[in-house]
Structures are given as C-alpha cells and as structure tokens.
A and B are shown apart, each in its own frame.
Chain A
Amino acid sequence: DTGVSQDPRHKITKRGQNVTFRCDPISEHNRLYWYRQTLGQGPEFLTYFQNEAQLEKSRLLSDRFSAERPKGSFSTLEIQRTEQGDSAMYLCASSLAADRRTDTQYFGPGTRLTVL
C-alpha cells in the first residue's frame, strides 16, 4: 500500500500525559498537512509543511501542540499535557503540486485520541 499511513491508529491516554503521532506521507509528496476532526464536524486545519519547513499554523494549534517534519519525509505531531478537549481524530494528508489552490490531498486513516 503506497498511501498515507498513520501510527498509532488509536491512542488512549490520561489527562496530563504527552502523546506523539506519526504520519508517513506518499513518497515524494512535498506537502504534508495535519487536521483535527471531532465527532460530527468536518476536519479542521492545524498546520502544514512544504518539505521540512512548517509554513502555516492555525490559531487552533496551541502552545501544547508541536509538529515536525525532519528531512521532509515523515512528520510527527506531539501534544503535551493532554486535556480532555484534545480527544479527536487527528488526520494527516499529503500532496504534490505547485498550486495550493488545486493540489489533491491524500488523507491517511487518522489517529483517534481519547483523553481520560
């Protein structure tokens, strides 16, 4: 399977703990996006990378959230001191295009986070 993969698929943690998610994009895709989706809502944009550079972050991305994409390949999203409101599905997507208005984003299956 050459699609976007995410690990783990499910994560249960206690409030206050740190968690880290990994996303492996489609090979050679230069853009990588992170989204968060809560029940009954559409995905919300969090941040995106072009190669290894993090070019944009949403206001939703508090100081407890940090994302990296070393070497422009896989990416990690870390949440520090998790809160119950962080419970959601975290989606990763990748794309390859010069124009951000038209690039097709390929989504992974997501990581479902439950904070107890």
Chain B
Amino acid sequence: DAKTTQPNSMESNEEEPVHLPCNHSTISGTDYIHWYRQLPSQGPEYVIHGLTSNVNNRMASLAIAEDRKSSTLILHRATLRDAAVYYCILRTGDMRFGAGTRLTVKP
C-alpha cells in the first residue's frame, strides 16, 4: 500500500489559515487522496477528497501537487472546533490510516 507522511503535530492561531501537508511519493495513478479528521472522543469524520485537481468544499480546500506526490489540506480560518487529528489517506479500496497530524488551535 502506498504510504503517507504527515507531521506529528502543528499549531495554529484562531481565525488564521492552516496548511496541513502530506507527502505521498509512492502514490499510484488510481489512488484517491482523502482527508478525515478525528475530534477528541469521537469517530473520524470526512473532510475532503480528490484525485488530480484541487478541490473545495464548505469545510476545507485540498491542493494537490502537479506530480501528485504531495498534497495540502487548507483550513481557511481555523476555529477552536477545528482542533483534531487530521489523517491523510490514499485509497484504492480500504482506508489505511496513519498516525495523522494533531492540530492545536490557540485562541
């Protein structure tokens, strides 16, 4: 399975943008890039996914590098409720979670 590499932790200030990086140098042409997040004491929740083009939804934006070997999840204005562990996942079928990035948002 193709693997992803994410920083263990990141900090952000409230109401500032956050860029969460993910490296996936062994991605295959059919792998979709998914992001899920897990708030404290909850199950993971879907954030966004994409294949080649950048994607936007109400929660976030996903910027995918032209060679697809990396991607960045962008939270445009972080709030305290965005504090969570963010997982970058490559999918051709099952979801294989890594350890993710723990995002701390400071007021």
A-side interface residues toward B, CB under 8 Å?
4, 33, 35, 40-45, 48, 56, 91, 93, 100-102, 104-110
Contact = CB atoms under 8 A, between A and B. Distances in A.
Contacts of A101: 30-32, 91-93
Interface stretch (B13-21, B61-69, B72-80, B97-105): B97-105
B43 A93 contact: yes
23 contacts: A35-B97, A40-B99, A42-B85, A42-B98, A42-B100, A43-B44, A44-B97, A45-B94, A48-B94, A93-B44, A100-B91, A101-B31, A101-B91, A101-B93, A102-B32, A102-B49, A102-B91, A105-B44, A105-B95, A106-B45, A106-B46, A109-B41, A109-B42
B94 A107 contact: no
Nearest to B100: A42
Interface of B: 30-32, 36, 41-46, 49, 85, 87, 91-100
Nearest to B50: A102
Contacts of A4: 43
Contact of B45 (A42, A48, A102, A107): A107
Nearest to A40: B99
A50 B96 CA distance: 18
Contacts of A44: 97
Contacts of A102: 32, 49, 91
A42 B99 contact: yes
Nearest to A89: B43
Contacts of B93: 100-101
Contacts of B30: 101
Nearest to B46: A104
B69 to A, nearest CB: 18
Contact of A110 (B43, B45, B95): B43
B92 A91 contact: no
